[in-house]
């Protein structure tokens, strides 16, 4: 498959990326391209210009401090999964990265690309929302609660580039994912985090956009145990329904995956 023609630019600094975008506001930023390139091949996307930001060295870092783990937007999924800092601070995040796609996709796809795209079935949005991360861009810092706004939609403005994601370090966290067996995307993925005084629960794959489950958070805040959410069910009203599973099936999976995620967190 051959995409529509476009003009390609490779930049090595954010300043150059922004300068190019100012001249060509129809351009798209290219990071790992593991979603954008297949989409362009199917001719579902037709950007006249691509600004390749994957060679910006400033976006490729993992920085660990006492209470947070900051990951550059250009870090590849495979490098997140292999990072000693990630695995020591938030092992659930490294394990989540390891479940994305396959090894060749993880060798190229980036954290920034994933959350900028905000695919309804992507894994990283669950971690960002479940951990209450802060998304840092070329313009500002955005709380995850305000960042993921809809299906493939985020708070990002035209030309705004995600530069890093700052994850608060929880006491414990867990992720559980029911794979679509063909694509490895999440049919339903649930990320739970226990911060001691509060618990957070974020669900991906089930609905048009990642979302939190307040009832489960309240129960887990009181008692971080699978029994605490044993009887909590989720309404099927806003769930996705497609050939892979009905809305009712996905709603059921949310409860099952949430319990497994809590168990995963407790197993550490």
Q: Report the alpha-carbon distance of residue 197 to residue 182 in Å, rounded.
A: 39
By C-beta, is 86 or 193 nearer to another protein? 86
By C-beta, is 43 or 140 nearer to another protein? 43
By C-beta, is 48 or 196 nearer to another protein? 48
Rounded least distance, CB 40 to another protein, Å = 8
Q: Report the alpha-carbon distance of residue 144 to residue 127 in Å, rounded.
A: 10
Q: Report the alpha-carbon distance of residue 135 to residue 127 in Å, rounded.
A: 12
Segment near another protein (CB under 8 A), from 34-42, 89-97, 120-128, 230-238?
A: 34-42
Rule CB under 8 A: is residue 184 a binding residue for another protein? yes
Q: Report the alpha-carbon distance of residue 88 to residue 110 in Å, rounded.
A: 20
Q: Report the alpha-carbon distance of residue 85 to residue 77 in Å, rounded.
A: 14
Of 200, 207, 259, 261, nearest in space to 228 by CA? 259
Q: Report the alpha-carbon distance of residue 12 to residue 242 in Å, rounded.
A: 41
Rule CB under 8 A: is residue 197 a binding residue for another protein? no
Rule CB under 8 A: is residue 87 a binding residue for another protein? no
Segment near another protein (CB under 8 A), from 49-57, 152-160, 169-177, 221-229?
A: 49-57
Which residues of this chain interact with another protein, rule CB under 8 A? 1-8, 10, 30, 33-34, 37-38, 41, 50, 52, 54, 78, 101-105, 107-108, 182-184
């Amino acid at each position: 498959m051959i995409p529509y023609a476009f003009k390609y630019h490779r930049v090595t600094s954010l300043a150059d990326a922004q300068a190019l975008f100012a001249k060509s506001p129809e351009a798209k930023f290219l990071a790992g391209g593991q979603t954008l390139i297949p989409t362009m091949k199917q001719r579902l996307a037709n950007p006249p210009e691509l600004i390749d930001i994957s060679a910006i060295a400033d976006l490729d870092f993992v920085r660990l401090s006492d209470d947070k783990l900051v990951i550059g937007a250009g870090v590849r999924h495979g490098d997140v999964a292999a990072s000693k800092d990630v695995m020591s601070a938030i092992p659930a995040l490294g394990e989540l990265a390891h479940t994305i796609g396959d090894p060749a996709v993880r060798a190229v796809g980036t954290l920034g690309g994933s959350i900028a795209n905000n695919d309804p079935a992507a894994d990283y949005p669950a971690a960002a929302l479940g951990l209450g991360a802060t998304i840092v861009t070329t313009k500002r810092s955005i709380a995850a609660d305000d960042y993921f706004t809809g299906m493939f939609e985020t708070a990002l403005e035209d030309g705004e580039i995600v530069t890093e994601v700052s994850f608060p370090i929880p006491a414990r966290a867990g992720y559980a994912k029911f794979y679509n067996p063909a694509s490895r995307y999440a049919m339903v993925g649930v990320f739970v985090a226990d911060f001691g005084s509060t618990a957070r629960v974020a669900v991906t794959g089930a609905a048009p956009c990642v979302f939190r489950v307040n009832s489960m958070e309240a129960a887990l805040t009181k008692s971080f145990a699978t029994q605490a959410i044993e009887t909590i069910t989720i309404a099927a009203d806003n769930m996705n329904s497609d050939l892979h599973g009905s809305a009712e099936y996905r709603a059921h999976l949310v409860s099952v995956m949430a319990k497994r995620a809590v168990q995963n967190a407790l197993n550490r």
